[in-house]
Chain A
């Protein structure tokens, strides 16, 4: 029965919505247990990880977009145009902007400064492929993918001793654990606690179990097979916040920076390994 189910995944051709086809086979032969479903999902994820990640194509897109939008002048903390290892020390305090910024916020700031975009244009640029899964190639996603992949192999090193960064870390921690919104929901509802929490067949990472935050953020941007495009951190925030029925998340806002500072702060020491791949 195991072989038949796996064959179903392979005959779908390439990486299809494999889970859907396995479910179809299972219903013909009888329901599969939750443990079996978990095991099949792990095998599917392992199969995805063994191949070439389609997200790497956005690396080339980003390389050209950086030239096009004059982002070679952008200082990510190591000097203008120095990108190798830059993403690993973000979020950090930037004196020229007077605030703590994570990678995406800094790119948004540089787009306003060096590409002449207004704040509204930047938001439109960020959201150009949101909701348009399959056949949308975003230059913004490319830029973030390129900048993160240039730090592949570098260990995340957020400077929590800096008082500005420490303040953002505490703010992020407070937002993470405070129940808000009409459903009294927060990040900790799913992503905290010592006990393992699952959504359908996916095991969720927890901020209270050491090391798991690193495993989660070090692979962003993450290529999602179901969308056919990579997902950046701020897109992930927007999605989680939408699911929690909080007010709409504005990319590059202080909320995003606070959450990034908290999670990347917890992830200190993990090697960056972008792009990740998932269902």
Chain B
């Protein structure tokens, strides 16, 4: 229930040809590599690197992220829908975590 949990929100229904907003929020510390101020030890970076947006298993957009993105990032992408389908996001971080989330959208 910690790092990597996400909320994916798309409108449940849309008209054919409409541009919908895909909103997502992912829990992640998004921290750069830094030194512990007390001990001087190096703390490695921990942040998301890539997020792919797929519609019906076809890649639509990619977001490449670095440590500059703030914690628990909220991202919104626009998507033009021509047919009903499944919106899927696949995201990974630099420590090997890989997650995905799906949501359905009905297009009339």
Answer yes or no: do A and B interact.
yes
Q: Give CA–CA (A135, B70) in the complex, Å.
A: 11
Decide: B1 and A137 in contact? CB cutoff 8 A: yes
Q: Are A56 and B29 in contact (CB under 8 A)?
A: no
Contacts of B68 in A (CB 8 A): 12-13
B65 touches A13 (CB 8 A): yes
Chain B 44-72, CB-CB to A under 8 Å as 1, else 0, gives 00000000000000000000010011111
Contact of B7 among A12, A15, A56, A137 (CB under 8 A): A56
Q: Which of A13, A53, A64, A137 has the most CB of B within 10 A?
A: A13
B93 to chain A, nearest CB (A): 13
B interface residues, tally (CB under 8 Å): 22
Cβ of A51 and Cβ of B31 under 8 Å apart? no
Whether the Cβ atoms of A54 and B72 lie closer than 8 Å is: yes
Asked whether, in the complex, the Cβ of A228 is within 8 Å of the Cβ of B1, the reply is: no
Nearest residue, chain A, Cβ from B6: A57
B2 cross-chain contacts in A, Cβ below 8 A: 137
Contact with B along A228-241 (1 / 0, CB 8 A): 10000000000000
Contacts of A95 in B (CB 8 A): none
A-B pairs with beta carbons under 8 Å apart, 23 shown:
A13-B69, A13-B70, A14-B70, A14-B73, A14-B75, A15-B74, A16-B70, A17-B70, A51-B23, A52-B7, A52-B23, A54-B25, A54-B27, A57-B7, A57-B25, A57-B72, A61-B1, A134-B29, A134-B71, A135-B31, A137-B2, A228-B29, A228-B72
The 9 closest A-B pairs by CB, nearest first: A14-B73, A135-B29, A228-B71, A13-B69, A54-B72, A16-B70, A52-B25, A54-B25, A134-B71
